[in-house]
Structure 1
Amino acid sequence: ELNVTAAASGNQFNLSTGVNTVTVTNALNITSPLAVYTIDAVLLPLDLFGNKTKTTAVASPPTSPPG
């Protein structure tokens, strides 16, 4: 399953999966009933790649040498 969110602003059209956002860059074919467009990157599915928030690992406190 691939959930896609579309957003348009002026002449720019973006698609997002929650992992990444890509821009629709060019119309290859717009003959009805099918339109084919190019995008600037591969859409990554949330189920396989998780969300785009990065977790930061917490460093463990230094241990003092024995003695």
Structure 2
Amino acid sequence: MKKSITTTVEVSGKGNTKQSAFSSALNNVQKTILKETNNVILRIEPVDVEIISAEHKKTTEKFMFF
């Protein structure tokens, strides 16, 4: 029996670059969906991806005020 289900999932990701943060978030999609259902899922395809918020932090480390 083949069934198609569409659901909305909100995930987050962190990384050193934009690409790694986005990749981390997409990897969390499967984990989140599998937690929410008891069905066997064969394939997960993103239909639409929307960025709700993005934050960029830049820090400078100083050692002994140099």
Measured against the shorter chain, the TM-score band is under 0.3
Which structure carries more relative contact order (alpha carbon 8 Å, separation 6+)? 1
Q: TM-score, normalised by structure 2?
A: 0.24
Q: TM-score, normalised by structure 1?
A: 0.24
Q: Which has the higher helix share?
A: 2
